[in-house]
Structure formats: structure tokens, C-alpha cells
């Protein structure tokens, strides 16, 4: 739970609902569902940002963290290919473009980590019948043997449940085996929006919200920490978003095992849902993206870290979000595939220099962290904003 916040800028708030929320923040009282809804609905976006920024600064000051990580997607073959309507990445086994890496290919892709900078592999893929427990055990053992210094954040709750189903094992036994092979933490993907009605519409056959929570609970009980996400900006209601946050907050109260919350902005290009909804380009708007991040910061009072996924919301929006409650950026990434299958126009990765420029441009202090959020090195004092540098960088990303 959050400590009471001092010096809140109450006189700068224009929405009485935000004044009510500020009163709770000042006494350390928890926000309830109605408060979360007010955050999503308020017309006073700047006021919301001021509150989220105050909550963030109380925890992290001016420091913004990032990890030097590399995404690896070992297979895009997925049994849910036709039922996850929002996904443009998955393929059926014989479909054009389907792939499954051999161990040699995984190691070849991972070779980028030989630069010594990469400290985390983020490994997720499809629900592939040919990629069972042995496939991932072999992969994690090989990665640890070749890159012992690199943390393995791998397999969403949905993938863990898939492996358990095909191996006829419990979630816990799968997690125990994978941990022994080198798994360190779980990423937060696969949450989508927990509401059963929404899932029915966008991902009918996917692991349900309660089971997503169940897999994360099982992981936390084994000492495996994890991230969590929410896919927003498709068919969900604001009430669905609030319910989703409530389920995450409840599990965090119970286990304390979540490291970070990452809202994921839905992208409508090149997927069935986008075509059905008749949308193209960016489905979410900048204000909605900021509301998602700021509300996450305020409502999830038992989370230390709110991460902005720059690949989906753009580097420019991510930079602004550093004043709306965000203290962490998805890292260097190297070669992102899932969002680039659905029309993301951002680059597939950023260099260390680019990440530093983005953070410094917001007037913040960049700090490289490890996968458990321990700061490894900070990059100097706060520098004055550098809009010119960022503009150059944004141009590059548009070309990318
Ligand atoms: O689960 C799929 C989402 C997720 C689309 O834990 C889409 O540190 C938008 O979970 N539009 C995978 N989103 C990515 C993910 C993630 C990313 C960065 C960091 C972490 C972490 C986790 O991508 C999927 C799904 O929710 N996704 N298709 C789409 N059309
Ligand atoms: Fe498969 Fe995940 Fe895509 Fe769904 S979102 S089709 S589970 S890869």
C-alpha cells in the first residue's frame, strides 16, 4: 500500500473527482473502482498526470529505468491462430511464413548478447504443439550455457498452461521444470482483457482471466516473479479495464510477486479484429495511452513499476508518459516481431544511446536496471530537455 503523499497540487485540479482522489492520496486511502473509473473518464488529463507524477516521484524521484534486453520469438506456430482475432503474428503449422527455430537458430539469434550489453532475453511465441517442455528446457539450458550472465524472462501464462496441457502436467510442475532449466521470470503477455465477454469476442479459446491469475499465483508461490499487462483500445469497456486492474491488484496483495504493470495499446492493422472493427492505423489515442498509464500508477498502489511499451505507443508518447506516472521503459529490444506483424511503425529496437536520449529529453535521469529492477548504473545528472536530439531520433524511427 502507498504511503500518504505530501504537497499534492490540489489547486491545479479542475475535476472534482480528481480532488476527491487527491484527498485519498493525501491520507494514504486506497482508490476504489469508482475512482479508477473517474481516472479513465476525467476531462482533466493534466490533473490526472499531476497526481500520477506525484505518486511516481514519491517512489522513484527523477530516475527512469530501462533494461538492455533482447526479444526472441522462437515459434509463430499457434493453435489459437484463428481464434485470437487481434493477433497478426501467429501462423498455422503449414501456413506460409510459419517458422519454428531449431536450437542452433535460437543461439544464432541470441548471439547478439555476446556484446556484453544485453542482460535479458524476453522469449515468447505461439502455442505450438511441437514445442513442448523438452523444447524449452533444452533452449533455456543452451542459453544459460552460452550466456550465463543473461536473465531469461520467458513464456507467458498462456504458454505455461499450453505446455502443461500437452504434457499432462500441472502448471506448478511445468514451472518447477523450467526453473530448473534456467527460467528466471515470466513476462506479462497473454492477459489481454480479463472480462469473459471481451475474451469471447477477441480471443474465444484463450486461457481465461482467472487462470492467467492462477498461473502467475503458481509462479509467485515458487519464487518466480512476473510482469502483467492489459491489452486495451479494442472492444473493452472502461468498467472492464477497472475490473482487470482490480484482479491484478488483488493478486499483488496476496503474493507481492508482480514486478511491473505494462498496458499494451491495441494495434488494428493486419489482424481480423481490426478489419471487423473497420479500423486502421493507431486504434488508441495519445490521451487514452496516457490515461492507461496514469491510472495504472494511481490504482495499482502495490506495484512499484509502471512500464511504457514504446514499440506500441511510440517513443514520443513514451517520453511524455514519463510525466504521467511511468518510471520504466521497455528496453533496447533488438528485433521485435509481434507488434511489427500488426503494423507498428516504430523501429524494431533502440540503441543504448537512443534510449538515453529519449529519457534525458524528458528531463529525467536514465538508469540501466537488471530484470529485478536493481539499478546497475545511472547515466549522470538530469540534463536539460533535448528536443532537437529527440526530433532527429523520431525521424529515424519513422524511416525504420
Ligand atoms: O500477449 C498481440 C499483445 C502481447 C496485438 O512482460 C497485441 O515485460 C496490440 O506481453 N495489438 C505480447 N497488442 C507482448 C507482451 C509484452 C511486451 C513487452 C514487455 C512485456 C513484459 C510483455 O502483445 C500479447 C498481446 O497482448 N498483442 N497482438 C495487437 N494487434
Ligand atoms: Fe497465439 Fe498468442 Fe497470437 Fe493468440 S496472441 S494467436 S495465443 S501467438
Q: What is the pLDDT of residue 347?
A: 65
Contact partners, residue 263, CB within 8 Å, separation at least 6: 229, 230, 232, 289, 292, 293, 296, 309
Looking at the chain, the whole-number percentage of residues with pLDDT higher than 90 is 80
Q: Residue 79 CA: which ligand 2 atom is closest? A: 1
Q: How far apart are CA 152 and CA 326, in angstroms?
A: 24
Indicate the pTM of the whole model: 0.93
Whether residue 396 has pLDDT greater than 70 = no
Residue identifier of the C-alpha nearest atom 2 of ligand 2: 126
The domains of the chain, with CATH numbers, are: 10-60+384-399 (no CATH), 63-378 (3.20.20.70)
Average pLDDT over residues 354-381: 92
Q: Are 25 and 40 in contact (CB under 8 A)?
A: no
pLDDT in tens, 74-126: 999 999 999 999 999 999 999 999 999 999 999 999 998 887 788 999 999 99
- What ligand has the least distance to the C-alpha of 89? 2
Contact partners, residue 294, CB within 8 Å, separation at least 6: 39, 48, 49, 51, 52, 324, 325
Q: How far apart are CA 178 and CA 175, in angstroms?
A: 5
pLDDT in tens, 114-170: 877 889 999 999 999 999 999 999 999 999 999 999 999 999 999 999 999 999 999
Cα 112–chain centre separation:
22
77 strand-pairing partners: 91
How many helices and strands (H and E) does the chain possess?
Answer: 16, 10
Whether residue 341 has pLDDT greater than 90 = no
Q: 37 CA to middle of ligand 2, Å?
A: 29
Q: How far apart are CA 260 and CA 67, in angstroms?
A: 13
pLDDT in tens, 273-296: 999 998 887 668 999 999 999 999
**347 vs 100, more confident:** 100
The pLDDT mean for the chain works out to 91
Which has the closest alpha carbon to 69: 144, 143, 119, 27? 119
Which has the closest alpha carbon to 265: 283, 240, 253? 283
Q: What is the pLDDT of residue 385?
A: 38
Average pLDDT over residues 354-378: 94
Q: What is the pLDDT of residue 331?
A: 77
pLDDT band at 344 (very low <50, low <70, confident <90, very high): low
Please report where in the chains the cell 481490426 appears, as a residue. 274
Contact partners, residue 358, CB within 8 Å, separation at least 6: 310, 315, 318, 319, 329, 350, 390, 393
Q: What is the pLDDT of residue 333?
A: 61
Residue identifier of the C-alpha nearest atom 8 of ligand 2: 126
**331 vs 265, more confident:** 265
**Helix (H, G, I), strand (E, B), or coil: what is residue 282?**
coil
pLDDT in tens, 173-232: 999 999 999 999 999 999 999 999 999 999 999 999 999 999 999 999 999 999 999 999
- What ligand has the least distance to the C-alpha of 269? 1
Within 6 A (CB) of ligand 1 lie 86-88, 187-190, 192, 227, 229, 231, 262, 264, 266-267, 271, 309, 312, 330, 338, 342
**Does ligand 2 lie within 6 Å of residue 84's CB atom?**
yes
Q: How far apart are CA 314 and CA 183, in angstroms?
A: 30
pLDDT in tens, 236-285: 999 999 999 999 999 999 999 999 999 999 999 989 999 999 888 766 89
Could you give the C-alpha distances from 251 to 2, 212, 216, 258, in angstroms and in order?
16, 11, 9, 8
Q: What is the pLDDT of residue 160?
A: 98
Q: What is the pLDDT of residue 15?
A: 98
Q: What is the pLDDT of residue 114?
A: 83
**70 vs 194, more confident:** 194
**Does ligand 2 lie within 6 Å of residue 87's CB atom?**
yes
Length of the chain counted residue by residue: 400
**Helix (H, G, I), strand (E, B), or coil: what is residue 151?**
strand
**Does ligand 2 lie within 6 Å of residue 191's CB atom?**
no
Instruction: Return the C-alpha cell found at 221.
Output: 508461490
Amino acid at each position: 500500500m502507498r504511503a500518504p503523499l505530501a504537497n499534492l497540487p490540489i489547486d491545479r485540479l479542475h475535476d472534482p473527482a480528481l480532488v476527491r482522489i487527491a484527498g485519498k492520496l493525501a491520507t494514504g486511502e486506497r482508490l476504489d473502482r469508482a475512482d479508477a473509473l473517474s481516472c479513465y473518464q476525467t476531462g482533466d488529463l493534466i490533473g490526472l498526470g499531476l497526481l500520477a507524477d506525484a505518486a511516481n516521484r514519491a517512489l522513484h524521484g527523477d530516475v527512469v529505468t530501462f533494461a538492455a534486453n533482447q526479444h526472441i520469438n522462437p515459434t509463430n506456430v499457434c493453435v489459437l491462430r484463428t481464434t485470437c482475432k487481434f493477433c497478426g503474428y501467429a501462423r498455422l503449422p503449414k501456413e506460409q511464413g510459419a517458422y519454428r527455430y531449431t536450437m542452433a537458430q535460437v543461439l544464432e539469434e541470441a548471439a547478439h548478447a555476446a556484446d556484453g550489453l544485453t542482460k535479458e532475453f524476453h522469449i515468447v511465441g505461439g502455442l505450438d504443439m511441437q514445442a513442448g517442455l523438452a523444447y524449452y528446457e533444452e533452449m533455456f539450458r543452451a542459453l544459460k550455457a552460452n550466456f550465463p550472465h543473461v536473465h531469461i524472462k520467458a513464456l507467458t501464462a498462456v504458454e505455461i498452461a499450453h505446455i502443461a496441457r500437452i504434457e499432462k502436467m500441472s502448471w506448478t510442475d511445468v514451472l518447477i521444470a523450467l526453473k530448473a532449466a534456467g527460467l528466471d521470470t515470466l513476462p506479462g503477455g497473454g492477459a489481454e482483457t480479463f472480462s469473459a465477454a471481451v475474451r469471447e469476442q477477441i480471443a474465444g479459446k484463450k486461457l481465461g482471466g482467472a487462470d492467467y491469475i492462477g498461473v502467475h499465483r503458481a509462479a509467485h508461490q515458487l519464487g518466480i516473479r512476473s510482469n502483467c499487462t492489459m491489452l486495451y483500445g479494442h472492444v473493452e469497456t472502461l468498467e472492464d479495464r477497472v475490473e482487470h486492474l482490480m484482479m491484478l491488484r488483488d493478486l499483488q496483495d496476496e503474493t507481492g510477486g508482480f514486478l511491473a504493470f505494462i498496458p499494451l495499446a491495441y494495434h488494428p492493422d493486419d489482424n481480423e479484429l481490426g478489419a471487423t472493427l473497420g479500423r486502421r492505423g493507431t486504434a488508441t489515442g495519445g490521451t487514452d495511452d496516457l490515461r492507461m498509464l496514469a491510472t495504472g500508477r494511481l490504482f495499482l498502489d502495490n506495484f512499484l513499476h509502471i512500464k511504457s511499451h514504446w514499440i506500441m505507443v511510440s517513443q514520443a508518447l513514451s517520453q511524455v508518459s514519463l510525466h504521467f506516472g511511468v518510471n520504466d521503459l521497455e528496453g533496447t529490444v533488438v528485433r521485435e516481431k509481434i507488434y511489427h506483424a500488426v503494423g507498428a511503425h516504430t523501429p524494431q529496437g533502440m540503441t543504448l544511446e537512443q534510449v538515453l536520449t529519449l529519457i534525458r529529453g524528458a528531463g529525467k535521469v536514465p538508469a540501466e536496471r537488471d530484470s529485478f529492477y536493481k539499478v546497475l548504473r545511472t547515466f549522470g545528472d538530469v540534463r536539460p530537455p533535448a528536443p532537437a536530439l529527440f526530433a532527429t531520433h523520431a525521424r529515424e524511427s519513422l524511416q525504420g
